[in-house]
Amino acid sequence: MKKFFPEKFLILIVDDNPNNLQILHVILEAEGYKTIVVSNGQDAIERVHLDKPDLIIMALTMPKMSGLELCDYLKSPPPLTTSPIILMRTVREQEYLIEAFEKGAADTITHPFNPAEILARVRTHLELKQTQKQLNRLVKEHDKLANLLRKLAITDPLTGLWNRRHFLTVAYQEFNRASRYKRFMSILMIDIDHFKQINDEYGHTMGDEVLKGVAKSIVGSLREADYCGRFGGEEFVTLLPETDSNGAVRVAERLRKRLEQITIGIGDKQVQMTVTVGVASYQLDDANIEVIIQRANKALYHAKSQGYNRVALH
């Protein structure tokens, strides 16, 4: 079991009875705990704000604001503190036990006090708080890791764009929507011209920078509603919802012109590149998204056969 260090914990004691305050202060300080003592609810609220105690011990009955009222105030959503609260009560105040727990108390102790019982209950609740804190941290770390794994599963690690599989998953959904509601939709297949020559002449590190630069420029040329992925190698694909062939060609031309004007460099090496784009749009007799992608690919290959740095519509 992990070693317990009382001196790491601050305990707030709230009671209008100075004798009770003194007794609890002595018991807890002798064990190594740090304590703050106050005599009323308002001062207790201020110390909770300022000192953020790890545990609070308060009397059940106090003038102006009772322990039940103070407990309810501290624990009502959103709670002012997540620290456990232990209410002090007499044997005659047994009828308040259920209400104490309903107001957010973690435990109760009776007075006259039993020092061993007080120390045992205090330690138990502080250890439970530590355990809950560790559990919350582990849950957050788990969620963070799960989100990272989900992101890795759907993105291309180099460019940060969607990978081919996830892009096709989304594209299937958009195709079904376009088919059901007879909406426009277009696909752009984008290929970096002479990319092998860039790798051969400048090295793969420069090639990676070109891929990242092209990906960034593509995203910067699209609307928030558009989708973009890396299809493989130096080939990218975008899906443009609610966009007919004329609109898709305009987007492709804007993207092509933007890319031919940028320069990507590492040190003193500078590279300019161009892209060729094939465009295809949804037609009412299309059976699936692959049909549109195939037409966009045919348009791309046709454009390359006519030269590079151009846009072709199937």
**Dihedral (C-alpha) 262, 266, 271, 274: value to the nearest 10 degrees?**
-50
Q: Is 290 a catalytic residue?
A: no
Phi/psi of residue 219, nearest 5 degrees = -60, -40
> Are 188 and 252 spatial neighbours (Cβ–Cβ below 8 Å)?
yes
**CB neighbour burial string for 270-281, b if at least 16 within 10 angstroms, e if fewer:** ebebebbbbbbb
Give me the amino acid identity at 118: I
Backbone φ/ψ region at 277: left (φ over 0), alpha (ψ -120 to 50), beta: beta
List helix spans (H) across the chain. Answer: 18-31, 41-51, 67-75, 97-102, 115-154, 164-181, 195-202, 204-221, 245-260, 289-305
Q: Which of 62, 71, 6 is nearest to 32 (CA)?
A: 6
Of the candidates 7, 141, 201, 234, the residue annotated as catalytic is 234
Residue holding tokens 């705990």?
33
Residues with catalytic roles: 234
